A and B are shown apart, each in its own frame.
Chain A
């Protein structure tokens, strides 16, 4: 079963705007990862945030984690056409630290 659930399911914004995607999960976690997928093929790791971290940055990406609300957000600033993709959060499986479970993803479309 899936642990994380992304919201919204789909998002369209103008190039240059910021895009925010959210992920909610059900059980306690050790860490949470965000991945990007282009054209329904292989996923690319974007960023990992640990349960004792609240915010992390990588280039134009900003990830927050609120363990009390069991939620995370991914912010992409100054969006570009190349950011058009599906974005997935992945968390530890329940009581496991050796595998991750993916959500259903947010499909982001950047309009020119």
Chain B
């Protein structure tokens, strides 16, 4: 079947604007993870969902960041009042269950540039 998809692939916005990044996980995967990756760094955990609920949002940097997964499938990462420091590649991954011994399947990412 189809893998994890993310839209848009690239997003350029101005400082102070609101953006939404979308993730379509693999069908049947109950766990969905969001990561942020800066140049030369590894993926940094932001939040993960088990089903519809956010099981761990400890990685969200501040209250400008919010994510939802209302029906337990598609997830949207929302960033308010964007800042230049938010520029990064935002990666989404899904796995069958939320366990550290489960393989995570990654989408291609959304490259966010805040001017």
Give the nearest-CB partner of B3 in chain A.
A42
- Does A26 sit within 8 A of B, measured CB to CB? no
Interface-central residue, A50, A91, A99, by most chain B CB under 10 Å: A99
Contact residues in B for A102 (Cβ distance below 8 Å):
35, 42-45
Q: Tell which of A30, A41, A44, A101 touches B101, judged by Cβ atoms closer than 8 Å.
A: A30
Sorting the interface of chain A by its residue count into under 10, 10 to 19, 20 to 34 or 35 or more gives: 20 to 34
8 cross-chain CB contacts under 8 A = A40-B37, A43-B93, A44-B106, A48-B101, A50-B101, A91-B100, A98-B48, A104-B40
Closest CB in chain A relative to B39 CB, distance in Å:
8
Contact A42 B106, CB 8 Å, known A98-B55, A99-B56, A102-B42: yes
Q: Across the two chains, which residue of chain A brings its CB closest to B55?
A: A98
Is A33 among interface residues, defined by CB-CB distance under 8 A?
yes
Docked complex: A1-43 residues within 8 A CB-CB of B: 2, 30-31, 33, 40-43
